[in-house]
Structure 1
Amino acid sequence: MRLGLTTAGAEGERRRGAARIWLRPMTYLLGVSMAALAVVYLLDLARHENAGLPFWEVFARMSPGDAEHIMGGIGEVIAAILGIVITVASIIVQLAANRYTPRITEMFFRDRTNMLVMGFFVVSAVFSLWINFSIRVGGDGSTERAFVPYYGVLVTMGLLTASLLMMAPYFGYVFDFVEPDNVVRRIKRSGVEQALRPAGGESDDAVDERRVTALSSLEQLADVALNAIDQKDKGIASKTVDSLSELVVAYLPHKGKLDPRWFQIRDRLARDTDFVSMNAEALGKLSTTRTWLEYKALRQFLMVYREALTAMPDLITRIAIDTRYIGQTAIAAGDRAAVAVVVKFFNTYMRRALNAKDIAAAYNNLNQYRYLAEELLRAGWGDQVLEIARYFKYYAQTAHAMGLAFLTETVAFDLCVLNERAYDVHAPARDELLRIFLEVDKEAELDHQEPSLRGVRKAQVKLATYYLQRGEEALARKIYRDMRDERPDRLRSIRAELVAVTSNEFWEINDRGAVFEYIEPERRQLIHRFFEWFPATTMREPIREEHTQE
């Protein structure tokens, strides 16, 4: 996404919004009002006593008494309109601020359109006040010293007409302003505009102001998401999380064009709560790697993630997906430092899920984490993939120790997929990736941990059939050598369970929508070939002897 296109799109969106909220309603209301006025006046002029009276002469004749009578009511009406507008707008904005984020109030009163409308109402009220004051009626009804501000009265009538016509569209604008999607979109746009301003002749204070404004946009989005979680509003929470990601995704490709001072953590930015607790070395690293904005955005994700674990579990997948989007954009931009930040936060998500023993959260995180690793493989970043594979192994063994057998099995099958992708793209890290995969399993320490290790072995056998299908017997035999000391009964049951899975459609709803153990029919036949390498006595079912009692 280009900055120019982004700005042009935002400008086009503003124009369409102005036409929808202001131009069309006011045009319709004005047209109906003028049509009704014309019809009534024409009927009045058609009466016998008004015959021959020109239409415009009705407006041209105005005595001091007429002017005083007209202006006496207009001033009160305009003041009443101003009071109604302020009262209604304040109530709407306050309710929205209580529901989403208190910063809506600040945004509302800084909004240019709102200030223009409020200013118009105030100017209309002041103008009518002074026009009314300037009317003079001569003594004893004399016109010698009378003064009729003819054009002032007409302008005041125009201002009153415009004020009345603007009331309904203005209330529509206020409701549209506080609509959650628009609030989120406005915050995101502000953050992008502040972050993507090209290097120029700004002062240090101006750069610091932009940094703080962009940071404030991230925090405002997090506030909206947290309040949405608290009120069980999944739609708004998901939209806000997406907007956080979109802000960073729009920012990443343009980092090279920004003022170097933008990346420095200093002045007010250094006093932010997420940075003030960090030591000088950590802050220096964020400045050097130019990743403070990515770090701050992902910190907001982590804060939302922590709340969503218990209050809105469905949002966990959304956060993981959007984190992956940031990582993929960083890969496309060649930003290794940003990818390292994304990996660190994926690891933190996994730690939070394991600490909570939330299997579903960890399962969905692993899915998106693996997608990111696959993207790294396609980009040729094998060293990062090996690092992620080691993390996978660690979390598999941690889950194994915690008795979370399903997570250990999930990691094993994800590593199986990564090994397959590494082979497909001829990654230099292929052999090391296989070695890490074969280190995931270890002897079960407790009986209830046995199923998790069986799942790891199934994944390894599945990978072996993949290698055999591609004629890589040497790689398949590496897996065989790692498994040859397994207990015979365990090997037989693994073979039987893999052969028995003939459908890839899982019988429950899940994000992956597939069965881990499923192997395509042609490839499934290779299971038998793999197990033929084991001694026949190992794979033969034991003969059960029947004893008869005489």
Structure 2
Amino acid sequence: MMRHNTLRFLRMILFLIMGALGIFLVQTLAELLFTALSPPQLSALTSSEARSLVNLLNAKLNQAMAILFIVTGMAVPLTANLYSLKFLELFIRNPVIISALLFVIFVNLSGLWTSYSSSGEAVPAFHLALMLVLTIASLLLIFPYLMYVFRFLHPKTLLGLLEGDVKACLRHARQSRGAAFNRERVAETLEHIANIAVRSVDRSDRNTAIDSVLSLEKMARHYWSVRNQLHSSWFEADQNFFLGFSSLAVSQMTASRSWMEMKLFYQFFEVLRAACPRMPELTSTIAKSLRKLGLEPASLENPALRELVIDYFNTFLRLTINRRDVRSVFIIFDQYRTLAETMEEKFPKEVLEVAYYFEYYGMAAREQGLPFVVETVAHDLGALVKKAWQNESPFRKEMLDRFLNYDRQAKPPLPGVKKAQALLASYFIHSGQEEPVEFIRRSFHELEPEFIRRLERELLQVTSQKYWEVSERRMNIEFVPEPQRVKLREFFDAVLGNPGARDAIPHRQK
């Protein structure tokens, strides 16, 4: 991005120079055509006229320098205070900005020397010509410089520069002598990116906050692409990067060579703490980024990273449940379930573990008085069980048992939990799997008939797959596909011991 801005800066200067030359040429030709003056007469100056010209040019130079430095001195610190102090370091290191400021300073020094040389009756023609050209150049520089600085101060530019810093550090970390220094710089840069997101949340700047999270996601992917090229000393975790962690935890990061992922995912957590419950769109972005990174080959093939991704999803759930942020919990469970469904085929044991966590955090939500979350988790848990049976997982029976025991101690049971179990039963009947259907049927035996009929009525009333309000999932979790609707009736008939025909159940569009 900065290379593009630099090229645009140079093109703008070239355009202005050509425009200025055109104006000077037209003015000079007009003067020669409409007056009796000759070219030597136009440039001839007395000593008094020369001093007046020098004073005028010095005044313009002072104005140009004042504009450049005042704008820089105000805009850069303000932007750094809004987003990150890293702005100041990047500003000082920018060659275009520093070159422009130094150019104006040296032109002013040239103007002082020309003023000194104009004392007495002497007319320093070369100095005057050079000062005139430099003054014009300084004035032409103002607009391109301001445009360049304003683009530089855009948050996306800062994020791009920070990403470039990380990539440069990773290149230098391939050698032993650069590993320790670049470890520190990368860890610091990740924190700066997270700080930009947090401060953006404070100002309700949603786009910048989301861009910051996506920047962290890109950094993780780039890191995995060069991970095998880094020197072994790079993977030594530094206690200073994890001040809130025990020395044992830091040593485990060194052993698993996962300190970078821990640091990066922790930035997700820091941003989530700021976003919850103020910015659900950012929560969604964080959960999606963690899910996508968790499904990257570099993560899936590494047991330590698979465990780390699951741990962070659990941490996200704990935070959002404790804050009673129902919408965020809903979002995170959706991404967590999608992650587990994708992992099920190759890593069924980890998915069985995830099913336990679903049950655990569902109960935590019940303790917090969040029944909607409890019911949503039941549907997500049912989806995992369905996926396990589709893939013929060796742990599918354990998954089903965990699902049927979910919220079993609740009195009375939540309707949403039993609906999820009934929906799963209708799928099993439709797919011709009687054994799991029998297990689910037994879990309904202790329920009141009227309660069961109510479940049936409410499920069959839902005839639209899309939810009637705009939500993150968009789909109605209680929707029954048409082929399963008949099987759902069969299941409820079998539970009530009343197979066969019965009165039609009225449908209501939802």
Structure 2 residue matching 1:394: 3-state secondary structure: helix
| 1:465 partnered with 2:426 | yes
CA shift, 1:525, in A, is: 0.7
Which residue in 1 is equivalent to 2:213? 241
Residue 544 of structure 1 is matched in structure 2 by: none
CA deviations on 1:301-342 (whole Å, 9 max, x unpaired) are 222222222433443222222222222236666233223222
Q: 1:123 to 1:96 in 2, by over 3 A?
A: same
For 1:382, which of 348, 352, 368 is the aligned residue?
Answer: 348
The aligned residue for residue 357 of structure 2 is: 391
TM-score (norm 1): 0.83
CA distance in 1, matches of 2:315, 2:280: 16
2:270 is matched by which residue type in structure 1?
Answer: M
1:509 matched to 2:470? The reply is: yes
Matched, 1:431 2:400: no
Matched position secondary structure for 1:277: coil
CA positional deviation for 1:75: 4.0
- Alpha-carbon distance in structure 1 between the residues aligned to 2:325 and 2:499: 38
Inter-CA distance 375–537: structure 2 relative to 1 (3 Å threshold):
closer
What does the per-residue CA deviation read over 1:316-369, in whole Å, with 9 as the maximum and x for residues that have no partner? 222222222222236666233223222112111111122122221211110111
Measured in 1, the distance between the counterparts of 2:264 and 2:452 equals: 47
Q: CA deviation at 1:428?
A: 3.4
- Supply the AA of the counterpart residue of 2:171: R
Aligned 8 A contact 1:75 1:128 in 2: yes
1:10 aligned partner? none
The yes-or-no answer on 1:226 pairing with 2:174 is no
Q: CA contact under 8 A between 1:386 and 1:429: conserved in structure 2?
A: yes
How far residue 540 of structure 1 moved from its aligned partner, in angstroms, is 11
The 8 Å contact of residues 229 and 308 in structure 1, kept in 2 or not, is answered as yes
The verdict on how the C-alpha distance between 1:198 and 1:463 changes in structure 2, with shifts beyond 3 A counting, is farther
Which of 16, 41, 44 is matched with 2:4 structurally? 16
1:190 positional shift: 2.2
Provide closer, same or farther for how the CA distance between residues 201 and 313 of structure 1 changes in structure 2, counting only shifts above 3 A.
closer
Cross-structure match for 2:240: 271
1:182 alignment partner, SS class: helix
Q: Show the 5 A alignment for 1:275-294.
A: 275-294=242-261
Q: How does 1:39-78 map to 2 (within 5 A)?
A: 39-47=26-34, 49-50=36-37, 53=39, 70-78=53-61
1:165-220: CA deviation from partner (whole Å, max 9, x where unpaired): 111111111111112222233223323432x31654451xx322222222222222
How large is the RMSD of aligned CA atoms in angstroms?
2.9
Q: Deviations over 1:430-458 (max 9, x none)?
A: 3332222222131324x5xx32xx32222
Contact 1:330 1:339 in 2 (8 A): no
Shift of 1:467: 1.9
- Residue-by-residue CA offset, 1:131-187 (whole Å, 9 max, x unaligned): 5445676xxx5xxxx68472x544433322222111111111111111222223322
Q: Secondary structure at the match of 2:84?
A: coil
- Partners of 2:110 and 2:391 in 1: how far apart? 75
**Partners of 1:153 and 1:428 in 2: CA distance:** 89
Contact 2:273 2:319 survives alignment (8 Å): yes
- Counterpart contact for 2:175–2:230, Cα < 8 Å: no
Give the total of aligned pairs: 502
Check the 8 A contact 2:449/2:496 in 1, yes or no: no
Secondary structure of the residue aligned to 1:197 is helix
- Greater shift in the superposed pair: 184-193 or 228-237: 184-193
Q: Does 1:305 find its partner at 2:272?
A: yes
2:132 corresponds in structure 1 to 157
Give the partner amino acid of 1:287: T
Asked if the contact 2:84–2:192 (Cα under 8 Å) also holds between the matched residues in 1, the reply is: yes
Please report how far the alpha carbon of residue 522 of structure 1 lies from its aligned counterpart in structure 2 after TM superposition: 1.1
Query: Are 1:500 and 2:466 counterparts?
Result: no
Which one of 150, 175, 188 corresponds to residue 216 of structure 1? 188
3-state secondary structure, aligned to 1:49: coil
Do the aligned residues in 1 keep the contact of 2:5 with 2:151 (CA within 8 Å)?
no
Q: Quick check: 2:172–2:179 contact (8 Å CA) kept in 1? A: no
Q: What SS is found at the alignment partner of 1:510?
A: coil
Give the Cα–Cα distance (whole angstroms) in 2 for the partners of residues 391 and 442 of structure 1: 16
TM score, norm. by length of structure 2? 0.89
**8 Å CA contact 2:173, 2:179 repeated in 1:** no
C-alpha change, 1:482 and 1:192, in structure 2 (3 Å) is: farther
Aligned counterpart, 1:9: none
Alpha carbons of 1:345 and 1:113: their partners in 2 closer, same or farther (altered >3 Å)?
same
Instruction: State how far apart, in whole Å, the 1-side matches of 2:232 and 2:114 are.
Output: 56
What is the DSSP-based 3-state SS (H/G/I as helix, E as strand, rest coil) of the residue aligned with 1:120?
helix
Aligned partners of 1:303 and 1:244: how far apart in 2? 12
What letter is aligned with 1:49? A
Do 1:135 and 1:149's aligned partners in 2 also have CA atoms closer than 8 Å? no
Shift of 1:485: 4.1
**513-522 vs 101-110, greater mean Cα deviation:** 101-110
Structure 2 vs 1, CA of residues 538 and 468 (structure 1 numbering), >3 Å: closer, same or farther?
Answer: closer
Equivalent residue, structure 1, for 2:77: 94
Q: Which of 256, 276, 287 lines up with 1:320 in the alignment?
A: 287
> Which string of whole-angstrom CA distances, capped at 9 and with x for unpartnered residues, describes residues 467-523 of structure 1?
222222223223223434444333333333323322222122211112222111111
**Which 10-residue stretch deviates more, 382-391 or 292-301?**
292-301
Residues 384, 159 of structure 1: alpha-carbon distance in 2 compared, 3 angstrom cutoff: farther
Distance 2:486 2:214 in 1: 44
CA contact 1:134–1:149 (8 Å) conserved in 2? no
Superposed CA deviations along residues 212-271 of structure 1, whole A, max 9, x for unmatched, are 2222222222222222222222222222222222222332333222222222123xxx32
Is the CA contact (8 Å cut-off) linking 1:505 and 1:514 kept in structure 2? yes
Tell whether the 8 Å contact from 1:230 to 1:311 is kept in structure 2 after alignment: no
- Per-residue CA deviations over 1:41-71 (Å, capped at 9, x if unaligned) read 11222245325x47xx966x77877765554
The match for 2:318 is 351
Identity over aligned residues, as a percent?
28
Matching residue within 398, 404, 409 for 1:443: 409
- Change in Cα spacing, 1:462 to 1:193, as seen in structure 2 (3 Å) is farther
Amino acid at match of 2:77: Q
Match of 1:28 in 2: 15
Aligned partners of 1:360, 1:115: CA distance in 2, in Å?
Answer: 48
CA distance in 1, matches of 2:197, 2:90: 17
